[in-house]
Amino acid sequence: MSLNKTRSRLLHRLQHRKHREREECFVVEGVRAALAALEAGADIQFAVTSPRLESLDQNNQLITRLADGDFETTSVDEKDFATLANTVTPQGILLVCTKPAMTLDSLLPDDKESGGKILVADAIQDPANLASMIRTSAAFGLNGLVVLGGTVDPWNAKVVRGSAGGCFRIKIVRTTAKECLDWIHNSSVILLTAEVGGGDIAAARFPMPWALVVGNEGSGIRPEFRDAAHKSVGVPICCEAESLNAGVATAILCYEMTQRNRQ
């Protein structure tokens, strides 16, 4: 069976950020990511598979879920699938999903004292770092991730794959720095910035709701967030080391802050 030209062209367009934004949808590629999307109830427009999926789908779990879905699945040969896929070694499954519509207000629960843990990605440019931050947010039960201007598209194929399904388990909101700061102020959210010289996170105590800002890998956090922050926090490191990878630092900080909440 062949994929119709309209859907084939859409898949090619969705490899570019401007078209993902215009179409309000994105591509999920790979067995693990596709299963996560299905389990999370993502709004799937259609799926494309190739024969290779049969050898990678353990117990036909994914194939069964696709058959039960209320969307159309088209099977194509390996040669055609390779022209549609974004990976070097495709796993035989592509999903086109509608981007979830989220707002800043949706990040806070009704009872702010018992919840409200938010991560803010400020101009994070490395897809691997953003994917790690999304994965960390999901692993430690954060309410969501705010993505500011200058940050790689959270619906970039590499980010979606690297998040290991995390992008389907947390709320992701894209907004401007000004809108984010205004919302934080109006919502009485404690604003924290992650910085090399920040106070030791192990000794810090903060009530919820809080928002932790992790900045650009090279230039750090933009001045308006640093000026508005209630406190800067960090992870003590040996003097010989310049800094931690943004993804690694985020994981340590989020662990410390959520571990305290659990205790």
pLDDT at 175: 97
Q: Which residues pair with 213 in a beta bridge?
A: 120, 193
> Pairing mode, if any, of strands 93-98 and 44-49?
antiparallel
228 conformational bin, left if phi > 0, alpha if psi -120 to 50, beta if neither: alpha
Structure tokens at 89: 């070694």
pTM for the predicted model, two decimal places: 0.91
Q: Output the average pLDDT for the chain.
A: 91
Angstrom distance (rounded) from CA 57 to CA 206: 44
CA atoms in the 13 A half-sphere facing the CB of 114: 3
Residue 228 phi/psi, 5-degree rounding, is -90, -10
Dist. CA 122–CA 176, nearest whole Å: 10
pLDDT digit string, tens, across residues 188-229: 999 999 988 888 888 777 888 999 999 987 888 999 999 999
